[in-house]
């Protein structure tokens, strides 16, 4: 993902620590030699961004902005008027700099203000834009100078995941490197920013916690806890099935993370093996809060998640609660026991048809050797199609008090005092290197095809406030699982207000 002198991408070098992008700031916002992309709230989308390019309505002399003839040009221009570009409630809103520029132009036409005064004000706006890019450049330098890059350990939806080392503390982290071009093209700005906001307020031993976040002109960097044991999808592929002791331990770890998330009034909505990763000792941690939501009935009816793990009420766009996460937990436990998911289909519609056709139940004849009836009953009760009948619907205590967890040492698990029954291989890479190469090449091709979107001067505004430092965060939630309910309610209200204010929720995210 590095750039050469001409700004062209070098051939893909997946595991090379030298494959590091050097951000360029020579192409500045408000460079009058290039058209300015003005988003129209009724038309703009990543697909038609080129169609929204308007010709500049001002001339230039060198690096100075000449607005002497701006009034005359505006009057002659038959394109949409200045009023048409007023700020509206749209996901791709125009930047503050552009709004200020057009406000000054409007002021000329209405008040006949002297162009020379406006010229000075426009130059001030241009300087602010340059400073904004310099800040992004400095953030990138700080990020690159702070961490040593080891190698790529995975591929996400928007770029690589690196194993990095903090140069001063020698602490190992995982760094998600996400292309802004891919994020915008895949209409995932809300998802990425939503995850950043939630992670800044969450911290728990059984989560993959965020420690730092940076950005430059083309990329977001999310520095997370490093988990060297690989994800459960990788281990399911190798093991196919797990025994009852291993399954109970995995389920208990996942439950503790969900209990904390639910106490914080959040529904994860994407519980699946790919989002459950093991540390080097074998404990399971929950990650990926991209489509998580604050628990509110009025905005919990959209369809989000992964087919095969989605609860029936989510698939049918009904209001859903924390019980949707417990259904997904039941699917995973079923997969651990029998080596397959309860409902399998090539499409979402096929899975929906199967769910409508029958309620899956593990029969006594299907229970593997050395598995108990209590284990099968626990899974069956999690897989109930009606959420009101599902284990956990009335609270997390239903999980803890089920006979399958009779006398289970929850406190020792919380303190990491148990010996995990499944240990990841510490001498091997617990990820598929071949699959990483394939997915990285696909991402690089998409990035090349969609770099044009970054020329839109409003792009950086979409990621405003992404930076984060855990050492400077003053609003962390206590990492203990026995926090008071009043504290949880207070923090969850703060979550909801902060996210709603920045309009990062997107309905219908699939």
DSSP-derived secondary structure letter, 94? P
CA distances from 227 to 405, 417, 490 (A): 27, 18, 31
**What is d(CA 168, CA 442) in angstroms, rounded to the nearest whole number?**
35
Dist CA 216 CA 469 (whole Å): 16
Structural tokens at position 179: 């292309």
Given 270, 279, 288, 325, the catalytic residue: 270
CB-based contacts of 66-70 (< 8 A; 24+ apart in sequence): 66/119, 67/104, 67/105, 67/108, 67/115, 67/118, 67/119, 67/122, 68/115, 68/119, 70/105, 70/108, 70/115, 70/118
Long-range residue pairs from 44-48, CB within 8 A, at least 24 positions apart, any chain: 44/90, 44/92, 45/92, 45/187, 46/184, 46/185, 46/187, 46/450, 46/453
Spatial distance between the Cα atoms of 305 and 328, rounded to a whole number of angstroms: 10
Q: Which of 370, 360, 302 is nearest to 337 (CA)?
A: 370
Active site residue 270: yes
Q: Provide the 3-class DSSP secondary structure of residue 301.
A: coil
Computed on alpha carbons and rounded to an integer, the radius of gyration of the chain in Å comes to 26
176 is in an annotated binding site: yes
Catalytic residues: 270
Residue list, annotated binding site: 176
Binding residues for ATP: 176
């Amino acid at each position: 993902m590095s750039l050469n002198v001409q700004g062209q991408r070098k051939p893909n070098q997946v595991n090379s620590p030298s494959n590091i992008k050097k951000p360029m700031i020579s192409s500045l916002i408000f460079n009058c030699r290039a058209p300015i992309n003005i988003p129209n709230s009724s038309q703009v989308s990543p697909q038609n961004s080129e169609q929204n390019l308007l010709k500049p309505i001002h001339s230039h002399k060198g690096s100075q902005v000449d607005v002497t003839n701006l009034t005359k040009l505006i009057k002659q221009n038959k394109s949409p008027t200045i009023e048409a570009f007023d700020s509206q409630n749209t996901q791709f809103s125009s930047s503050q700099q552009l709004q200020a520029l057009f406000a000054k132009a409007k002021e000329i036409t209405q008040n006949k203000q002297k162009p020379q005064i406006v010229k000075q004000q426009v130059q001030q706006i241009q300087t602010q834009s340059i400073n904004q890019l310099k800040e992004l450049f400095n953030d990138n330098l700080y990020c690159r100078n702070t961490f040593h890059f080891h190698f790529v350990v995975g591929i996400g939806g928007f770029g690589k995941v690196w194993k990095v080392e903090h140069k001063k503390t020698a602490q190992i982290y995982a760094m998600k490197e996400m292309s802004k071009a891919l994020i915008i093209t895949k209409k995932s700005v809300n998802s990425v920013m939503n995850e950043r906001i939630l992670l800044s307020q969450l911290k728990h031993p059984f989560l993959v916690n965020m420690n730092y976040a940076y950005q430059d002109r083309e990329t977001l960097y999310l520095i997370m806890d490093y988990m060297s044991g690989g994800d459960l999808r990788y281990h399911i592929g190798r093991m196919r099935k797990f025994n009852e002791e291993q399954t109970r331990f995995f389920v208990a770890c996942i439950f503790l993370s969900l209990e904390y998330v639910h106490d914080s009034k959040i529904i994860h909505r994407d519980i699946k093996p790919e989002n459950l990763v093991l540390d080097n000792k074998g404990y399971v941690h929950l990650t990926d809060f991209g489509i998580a939501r604050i628990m509110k009935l009025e905005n919990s009816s959209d369809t989000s998640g992964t087919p095969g793990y989605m609860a029936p009420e989510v698939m049918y766009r009904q209001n859903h609660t924390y019980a949707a996460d417990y259904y997904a937990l039941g699917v995973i436990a079923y997969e651990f026991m029998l080596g397959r998911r309860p409902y399998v289909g090539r499409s979402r519609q096929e899975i929906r048809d199967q769910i409508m056709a029958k309620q899956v139940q593990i029969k006594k004849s299907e229970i593997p050797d050395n598995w108990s009836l209590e284990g099968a009953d626990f899974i069956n009760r999690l897989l109930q199609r009606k959420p009101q009948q599902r284990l956990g619907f009335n609270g997390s205590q239903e999980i803890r008090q089920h006979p399958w967890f009779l006398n289970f040492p929850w406190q020792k698990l919380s303190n990491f005092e148990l010996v995990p029954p499944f240990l990841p291989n510490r001498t091997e890479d617990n990820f598929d290197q071949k699959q990483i190469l394939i997915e990285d090449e696909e991402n690089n091709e998409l990035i090349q095809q969609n770099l044009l979107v970054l020329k839109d001067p409003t792009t950086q505004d979409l990621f405003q406030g992404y930076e984060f430092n855990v050492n400077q965060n003053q609003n962390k939630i206590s990492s203990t699982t026995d926090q008071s309910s009043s504290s949880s309610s207070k923090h969850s209200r703060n979550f909801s207000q902060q996210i709603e204010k920045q309009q990062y929720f997107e309905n219908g995210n699939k």
